[in-house]
Amino acid sequence: MIIYHGSPEIVKQPEIRIGKYNKDFSFGFYCTLLEKQAFRWATRFGEGYVNEYEYETDNSLNILKFDEMTEEWLDFVVSCRRGITHKYDIVEGPVADDVIYNYIQDFLDEKISREAFWALVKFKYPTHQICFNTKRSLETIRFKGVKKVHEQK
């Protein structure tokens, strides 16, 4: 399966990066099945690169997959955003993009209810992310190539 990683740089050797902010599925190397989404990630700050990888599923890994935004997905993202670690090698599911991120933060801050969160996100476009959370999980992807991309105005 082909997956993409949008970045301001070419990433031939993916690695787990620990940032100062907690992310949807904790720290890891984030990719997507959607090339258009990788393009958006790559061009957030102007020009960038859409890195392409071949991904081979390894069923011996501990994998968690969310097919859509569900209560379980929301609770998992909230937990990760609070800095609580998990036991999975790979986590796959919808992205809490900038807009949804704000709704999650409002939910975390108890500014909106769970019901209000679901009402706000129900019409958002489809998104996808797959996070490789362990070094072992990175062995399932192989760099195939890269495209330089520019922000379209």
Tens of pLDDT, residue by residue over 103-127, are 888 888 899 998 888 888 776 666 8
What are the tens digits of pLDDT across the range 30-70? 999 999 889 988 998 889 999 999 999 999 999 999 998 88
98, 88, 93, 76: which is closest to 132 by C-alpha? 88
Would you state the structure tokens that stand for residue 152, as one six-digit string?
């379209």
Measured CA to CA, the distance from residue 124 to residue 104 in angstroms comes to: 14
User: Residue 2, SS3?
Assistant: strand
User: Residue 151, SS3?
Assistant: coil
**What is the number of other CB atoms lying within 10 angstroms of the CB of residue 13?**
7
Q: Are 6 and 49 in contact, with CB atoms under 8 Å apart?
A: yes
Largest CA distance in the chain: 44
Residue with tokens 């970045």: 7
Residue with tokens 């807009």: 99
What are the tens digits of pLDDT across the range 14-35? 999 887 777 889 999 999 999 9
Q: How confident is the model at residue 72 (pLDDT cuts 50, 70, 90)?
A: very high
